Every structure is written in C-alpha cells, then in structure tokens.
C-alpha cells in the first residue's frame, strides 16, 4: 500500500508540472494586448507600454516561466495583476468557499443516492420504477434552471434563505447553512440522480451473485447480508462514481456560483480568465490539479482498503 | 450508523435556526437604515489613486477618498469640497487652490497642500488608466500648508472636472508608493475600509472615518459593496432585499419594474461607429469625407433605437452631451436615414460600385450588427465581419486593426472626450490620424478656456467639424439604468453611469 501511495504521489507531481507548464504556455502565448486590457479603455499607448514593462510582459516567455516556476516551488504564486492581492491566499479563500458547498453537496448526494439506490434495488417493482423515473428527471433538469427556480421560490417569494452570497461557517453556522442550502440542492440534484442509478445497478449486480444466495441459505439476516457483504462489494463502483461526481461538481460550481453570486473557485477562474489576470489563472489551474490529484489518491486508498485486489491490480 | 441521526439533528437544527434567522441574514442589510448595501457589476481592482480607472468601480474608492472638488449636478461646474477656492493665472497655466485646514486622513495625519501636490505628481508619473488627466501637469508645489499650485505645460480645460473624479482623490502620504495602497487604502474620505469584514472580490465593508470633516453629508454608518457580475443574481439580490441598489442592464428593466423595484435612467454613453481609418491606410475609401458621410446616411439609427434598444436612449450624431460646452443641438439632425443620399455621395466619391469593409463582430454587445450590415450592403458597402475575442475588443480597436468598428464610449466632460478621441496621440485614434484643423480648433478652445462663451463656441466648432467630417457615426446615447429597492434614493451625475456614494440617502 505504501509503494502504491508513493507511486500515486509521484505521478501527481508529474501531472502538476505538466499541467502548470501547459497552462503557462497556453495563457501567455495567447496573444492580445494584456496590459491594455488591464488598464481599460482610456489608457494611452504610453501607459500601456509602461504597464507591460511593469508586469514583465516585455521579457521572453521562457524567462517569464522560469521566474514563475522558481517562485511557485516556494509556494509563491505571485500577485494578481488585477487586484494586487497575493494569488495563493486568494485561491485558498475561494477554494474554501467552493469546497464548503461541494463537500456538503457530496454528503447529501451520498446519503440520497445510497438510500435511493438501495431501496430501488431491494424493493424493485413500482418503487424501483418511480425512483428510476425521478432519477432520470433529476438528471435531465439543468442545474442553472433548478437554481433559478429555487431562488424564486425560497429566496424571493418565501424569503427563507438569501438569494445570493456566502457566509463563512465561522461567522455564523446558521447563516452559513442558509447561504449554501439552495446551491447544494441545485448542484447535487443531477449528481444524486446519476449516482443513485449507479448504486442501484451495483447493488442489484451483487445481490444476484451466488455467494449472496449462499449466505442467505446459511441463515444470515437480510440486514447482515446487505451491510456486511452486498454494500461492501458494491462500494467500489459507487465510490468511483462519487469521486467523479466530486470533480464534476467542483467544475459545475462555476454556473452555480454565478447564479447565487458566490465568489468561489469557479467565479475566480472565469473572472481571472476574462480579465487576463494570468498569475491567478495559472494559480487556479495548479491548485485545482492538486485538488483532483488528492481526491483521486484518497479514493484509490479507500478503495484499496475496501477491496485489496484493487491495489494489486493497479 | 448511530452518528447519522445526530448529524441529521444538527443539520435540522441549523436549518430551523437559519430559516428563522433568515431575515437577518438575507434581508437584514436592506432593513437597516444605518447600512447602505449596494451591488456592483464589477469587482474593484485597486485603491491606489494613481491607478484608479473609474466608471462602475467609482463607488469603491469614493467611500475612502474625498475629492478636492465635487461636481454640481445642476450647473455641471465644480464646487468646493476639500479645496475651498481656486483661481487661474491669465494664460491658464497656473492653478492656485486653497485647501480646508481641518481635513485629516483616517489615521489622523493632516491633509496638507504638499500631500495634494505629491498625489498629483504620483498620478502623472504612475502611468495609470487615468494618468492622462495629469498629462499636461508640469509641476505641483505647496507654498504653504493650505495652498497648492499646479503648473501646466498648456491649459487643460478639463482639469477642474478631473479633480471632481479620480484625479481629485488624495491618498495618505504614508501610503503613496507602497504596495499596500492598492489593497489597504488610507484616505480622508467619509469611510474607511474595514479589512476584517472585507473579503476582496466577495464584499467590501466600509465604516465611518472618525476624522471625517463632513460627516453630516453621509447618512450611513456603514457601506457594504458586493460585486455581483451576473445581472440575474444582482436582480435577485435586490428583489430579496439583500442589497438596496445596483446598476442593471436593459435586459433586466422589465423584470425589475415588475418586481416593484425603482428604476432610474439617464443617457451618458454614445453608441455607434468609429470611422477610425480617416487616412485610408487600410480602407482607402474612408479617406474621402463623402464616404464617411454616406455611412452616416445609410444607417437607420432611429429604427435601431426604437426596435432593438426598445427606445432606451436618445438619437445623436455627436460625442458631446447635451448641456455641455460644445453640444450643438442642430447637429443631431445632420444625418437622417437617407440611403439614396448615401448612394449619391458614394458615387460622387468614385465608389458607385461600392467597396469592401472589414469590421469586427460586435453582435455579443448589440443586436444591431446584422441590420447594420444589411443597410450598408443596400448602399453598396460590402461588410465582412471578423471575429474578435470579446475581452480583447477594446485593445484591438485602439491598435488600429479595423478601419471602422462599433463602439460604446462614455460622454462626459467635452474636453476629456475630445482628448480621448481626436488628437493623433490619443487612446481612441488608433490610426494616429493627425488632422491639422482638429489641432487648430483644440488650441482655440484651449486658449478660450476661462471665457465661458468663447469656450462653448470653440468646443461647438470642434463638434461641428467632427460631425461634418464624419469622424464617427454616432447613433444614439444609450440609457444607463440603476435600480433600488425603494429604501434608498440617489441623484445621477450627468457624466457618470452609476451614482456617487455621496448622493445616497434613505427615502424615509
């Protein structure tokens, strides 16, 4: 297991280097008048040239990359060209907002999808059909539309929760909950629907195995068979789907953050790209790569514990 | 398993608490008259006065910086603020200002004339977006603590107006030149940035400056500005009472009014075409004034305004605002929609068969594009539209890559408008067209500055020359909209698309 983790960590570093290099090359070689765009419409050519010099844009690309890389290794991802804020603390602050929503959404998705998936797989019949239909509908509804409807009903009409914004947990747990409840539902609905289908299929697949029939024949209770054997064996595909859903939700948060005016990683990525705030764009890519690598590593480790064959196979 | 019920119980308790306390969390800001909660369409980029860019970011810096002068919205003339009086020498190259002696920065440091002079030099040398406001400044000195003397290389008729905006913002001398000035402002304005309650990019909280000399002019104890990029989210924040005021776009007007929000509008920005290649460098036809006039005649501007912009604006042919020196009422009817006249002018210019014109796509900004292309084709001008990365649109246009292009520019002080668009080394003269008559007319206006009648006539001559020679093809001044939830009111400046902080007050 240790060797497995070391291999994964090394692969993660290689991926991080590749992604950061590719991102840097892409955004810096994109062309366009970055300095002029940062200064806005009224700035004259002299001001634009001075800004380009100040940002180091007059230097060769390799020199700019080397400067960035040598600082990035020490944890210094630079300063935003737009807001003058240091990049890493800005990203970490935004990441905490997005993760706050996505982690809760993942929790809700896990609870809902496992419950729905197990009930559908065990009961079958009309309950299965109803839950499957509901899952398909949940999967088909666009998250932005769900978000807008939720805002209209619960924030504007009923005024139960705020329509926009995010309140940090440490500021007020109650207001934090109120600020994330709608984004979590909007973000998690499709994910829960997709994962429920996956859990249902996995559970049905295991239930149809010979050893389950044998366990039942030996007199084990349905609960023990379910929790002790069926779910344990159905878990790996479910976990894999959940890890993919997590990554997908981090990406999908872009739209949800826009609708709810929540300034998380998605908004930061979009805004910094639109503003040509390249240090932030590169920083976002680096941090997101780290997040994805860590999630995959965590899922691999958990899978390894649940099913040791997975570790050997990989 | 046993932990799930506990967790769910906690979650449920949080939900009950959240829902029961939601009025405080969601609509609390609107109900509290001691707090002014606004949504901005753009985030703040800097608090450094030498790097401010203004426009929709004005409210951020207006909270922390006082301006030397302020604009009287009735007369559109500057009036005293931090500076109490001022005078020019005869040739308008030396401006002497007297400052209040009771103004202090938020840390208690006195605001003195040498600080004001230092700020002026920092603006000139900072090469920021508004550095052009101090471009003619040769020096700034402080003979005594309440007297500042500006010396200019040439008269600048817009300078006093600039001092009512970003150029008039004065930073603490301890902050000038430090990196912290961009993120942690120290000004002499009505509020100070509460860094503990502020999350850059998310919300900015300002509390009262204990040393502010004019506290009574600002009724709110706290100002919270939340950048919300999406129009729908801004409207939702207004409708749910989270914010009290926000700039909105045309697409949101009906929804805002239907939701009971108060909407005010005014026309500041002009929309239309810039016929930039007047030397015919890329498109030889545009060198002929008759061709440029033909373009003005070929387009049914009133129809665009009525049908595409839904009447939210006023037709114009000028880059100067009504009521400002240089605006000539009669010029607005100079180019009625007349395709026959357009064809005749093209024929006289030797382009009876038309010509090809490459223009950048602007359909993402205005629905007029396909109609414009069709109407130009009807008189023989074959337009080929090229895609341009939207966020690089302005810089590409300023670089002179397109002979003619759609643009929306803010009108304001007429001299400022002229400076930005007409001289050869100006931001929006991408082809560096050096027109000797423009230079002569601007020099005349510069010399006339100080004599209101002569200055207005000289600026009017500039507008007439620019319209007659079809430097541009302005279509209309488009309305800007600002919505409130009814708990606050404000006054629009005729020269800005969003209200100044100082104009907000409770309706009750």
The residue with greater pLDDT, A313 or B320, is B320
Residues B224 and B35 sit within 8 Å (Cβ to Cβ): yes
pLDDT digits (tens, 9 = 90+) for A10-33: 888 888 888 888 888 887 766 567
Residue A311, strand partner residues: none
DSSP notation for A257-276 = HHHTT--SHHHHHHHHHHTT
pTM comes to: 0.82
Read out DSSP for B254-305? HHHHHTT-EEEEEEEEEEEEEE--TT-SS-GGGGSHHHHHHHHHHS-HHHII
Kindly list the residues from chain B whose CB atom is less than 8 angstroms away from the CB atom of residue A89.
none
- Assess whether pLDDT exceeds 50 at residue B22: no
Percent of chain B whose pLDDT exceeds 90: 72
pLDDT tens sequence across B419-434:
889 998 888 998 999 9
Among the partner residues A156, A178, A263, nearest to B25 by beta-carbon distance: A178
Backbone angles phi, psi at A249, to 5 degrees: -70, -35
**Of B46 and A45, the one with more pLDDT:** B46
Q: B490: which 2 tokens?
A: 């404000």
Are A173 and B14 an interchain contact pair (Cβ–Cβ within 8 Å)?
A: yes
**Per-residue pLDDT band at B184 (split at 50, 70, 90):** very high
The reply to whether residue A36 touches residue B241, judged by beta carbons under 8 angstroms, is no
Q: Which residues contact B213 (CB under 8 A, 6 or more apart)?
A: B100, B102, B103, B104
pLDDT bracket for residue B6 (50, 70, 90) = very low
Which residues face B327 on adjacent strands? none
* Whole-angstrom distance, CA of residue B68 vs CA of residue B334: 39
- Tokens for B231, please give them: 């129009």
Q: CB–CB of A88/B199 below 8 Å?
A: no
Where would I find the H helices in A29-75? Answer: 34-39, 45-55, 61-72
3-class DSSP string for B291-307: HHHHHHHHCCHHHHHHH
Separation CA B63–CA B190 (nearest Å): 6
| Nearest residue, CB atoms, B127 vs list A51, A85, A93 | A51
H helix or E strand, kind and range, residue B88:
strand B83-88
CA distance to A161, B189, B353, B435, per residue, from B221 (Å): 26, 13, 67, 52
Asked if B316 and B332 touch (Cβ cutoff 8 Å), the reply is yes
Interchain proximity A83–B230, CB inside 8 Å: no
CB B474 within 8 A of CB B318: yes
User: pLDDT per position in chain A (314 positions), as tens?
Assistant: 778 788 888 888 888 888 888 888 887 766 567 787 777 766 777 778 888 888 888 888 888 888 888 998 898 999 998 888 899 999 999 999 999 999 999 999 999 988 888 888 888 888 888 888 888 888 889 888 999 999 999 999 899 999 999 998 988 999 999 999 999 999 999 889 888 888 888 888 888 888 888 888 888 887 888 887 888 777 777 788 888 888 888 888 888 998 999 989 988 998 888 888 889 999 999 998 888 888 888 887 877 777 666 554 54
* Chain A contact set for B19 (CB, 8 A): 160-161, 178
Does the distance separating the beta carbons of A83 and B18 come in below 8 Å?
Answer: no
Residues B76-127 pLDDT 10s: 889 999 999 999 999 899 999 999 999 999 999 999 999 999 999 999 998 8
Tens digit of pLDDT for each residue in B240-280? 999 999 999 888 999 999 999 999 998 888 999 999 999 99
Task: Measure the CA–CA gap between B344 and B352, rounded to whole angstroms.
Answer: 8
Chain B CB contacts of A32 under 8 Å are 389, 391-392, 395-396
Closest CA to B499 of B485, B486, B480, B479: B480
Asked whether A40 and B46 are in contact (CB, 8 A), the reply is: no
| Pair B226, B38: CB distance under 8 Å | yes
Return the structure tokens found at A30: 């994109």
Q: Which distant-in-sequence residues (6+ apart) come within 8 Å of B302 by Cβ?
A: B315, B337
H helices of B79-207, where? 113-125, 159-162
């Amino acid at each position: 297991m240790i060797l497995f983790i070391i291999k994964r960590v090394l692969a993660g570093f290689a991926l991080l280097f590749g992604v950061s290099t590719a991102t840097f090359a892409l955004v810096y070689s994109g062309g366009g008048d970055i300095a002029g765009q940062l200064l806005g419409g009224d700035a004259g050519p002299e001001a634009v040239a001075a800004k380009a010099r100040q940002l180091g844009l007059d230097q060769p690309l390799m020199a700019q990359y080397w400067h960035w890389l040598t600082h990035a290794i020490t944890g210094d991802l630079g300063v935003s060209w737009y807001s003058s804020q240091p990049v890493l603390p800005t990203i970490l602050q935004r990441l905490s907002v997005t993760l706050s929503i996505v982690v809760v959404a993942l929790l809700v998705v896990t609870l809902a999808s496992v419950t729905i998936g197990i009930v559908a797989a065990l009961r079958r019949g009309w309950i299965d059909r109803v839950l499957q239909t509901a899952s398909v509908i949940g999967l088909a509804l666009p998250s932005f539309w769900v978000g807008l409807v939720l805002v209209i009903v619960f924030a504007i009409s009923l005024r139960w929760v705020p329509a926009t914004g995010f309140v940090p947990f440490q500021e007020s747990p109650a207001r934090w909950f109120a600020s994330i409840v709608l984004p979590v539902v909007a973000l998690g609905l499709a994910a829960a629907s997709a994962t429920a289908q996956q859990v249902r299929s996995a559970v049905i697949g295991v239930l149809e195995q010979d050893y389950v029939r044998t366990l039942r024949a030996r007199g084990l209770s349905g609960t023990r068979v379910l929790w002790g054997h069926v779910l344990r064996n159905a878990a790996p595909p479910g976990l894999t789907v959940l890890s993919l859903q997590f990554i997908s939700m981090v990406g999908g948060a872009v739209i949800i953050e826009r609708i709810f005016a929540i300034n998380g990683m998605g908004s930061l990525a979009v805004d910094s790209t639109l503003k040509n705030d390249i240090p932030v764009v590169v920083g976002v890519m680096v941090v997101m790569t780290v997040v994805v690598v860590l999630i995959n590593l965590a899922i691999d480790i958990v899978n390894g514990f649940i099913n040791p064959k997975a570790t050997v196979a990989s | 398993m046993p932990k799930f019920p506990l967790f769910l119980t906690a979650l449920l308790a949080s939900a009950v608490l959240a829902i029961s306390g939601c009025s405080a969390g969601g609509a609390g800001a609107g109900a509290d008259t001691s707090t002014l909660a606004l949504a901005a369409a753009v985030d703040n980029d800097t608090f450094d006065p030498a790097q401010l860019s203004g426009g929709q970011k004005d409210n951020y810096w207006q909270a922390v910086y006082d301006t030397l002068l302020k604009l009287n919205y009735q007369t559109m003339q500057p009036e005293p603020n931090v500076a109490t009086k001022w005078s020019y020498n005869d040739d308008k190259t030396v401006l002497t200002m007297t400052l209040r002696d009771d103004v202090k920065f938020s840390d208690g440091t006195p605001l003195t004339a040498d600080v004001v002079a230092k700020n002026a030099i920092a603006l000139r040398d900072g090469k920021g977006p508004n550095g052009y406001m101090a471009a003619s400044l040769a020096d700034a000195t402080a003979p005594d603590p309440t007297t500042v003397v500006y010396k200019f290389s040439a008269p600048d008729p817009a300078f006093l107006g600039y001092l009512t905006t970003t150029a008039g913002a004065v930073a603490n001398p301890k902050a000038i030149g430090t990196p912290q000035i961009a993120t942690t402002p120290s000004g002499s304005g009505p509020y100070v940035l509460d860094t503990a309650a502020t999350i850059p990019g998310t919300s900015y909280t300002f509390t009262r400056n204990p040393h502010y000399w004019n506290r009574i002019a600002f009724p709110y104890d706290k100002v919270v500005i939340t950048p919300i990029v999406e129009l729908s989210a801004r409207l939702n924040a207004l409708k749910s009472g989270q914010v009290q005021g926000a700039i909105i776009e045309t697409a949101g007007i009906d929804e805002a009014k239907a939701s009971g929000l108060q909407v005010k509008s005014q026309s500041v920005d002009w929309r239309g075409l810039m016929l930039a290649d007047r030397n015919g460098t890329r498109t030889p036809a545009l060198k002929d004034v008759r061709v440029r006039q033909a373009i003005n005649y070929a387009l049914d501007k009133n129809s665009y305004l009525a049908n595409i912009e839904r009447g939210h604006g006023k037709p114009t042919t000028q880059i100067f605002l009504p009521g400002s020196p240089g605006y000539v009422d009669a010029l607005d009817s100079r180019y009625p929609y007349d395709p026959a006249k357009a064809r005749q002018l093209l024929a006289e210019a030797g382009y009876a068969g038309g010509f090809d014109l490459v223009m950048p796509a602007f359909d993402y900004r205005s629905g007029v594009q396909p109609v414009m292309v069709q109407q130009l084709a009807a008189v023989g001008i074959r337009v080929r539209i090229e895609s341009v990365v939207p966020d690089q649109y302005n810089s590409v246009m300023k670089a002179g890559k397109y002979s003619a292009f759609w643009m929306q520019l803010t009108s304001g002080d007429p001299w400022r408008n002229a400076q930005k668009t007409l001289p050869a080394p100006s931001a929006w003269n991408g082809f560096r067209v050096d027109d000797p008559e423009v230079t002569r007319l601007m020099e005349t206006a510069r010399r006339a500055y100080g004599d209101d009648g002569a200055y207005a006539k000289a600026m009017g001559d500039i507008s007439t020359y620019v319209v007659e020679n079809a430097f541009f093809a302005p279509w209309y001044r488009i309305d800007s909209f600002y919505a409130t939830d009814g708990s606050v009111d404000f006054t629009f400046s005729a020269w800005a698309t969003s209200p100044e902080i100082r104009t907000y007050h409770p309706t009750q």
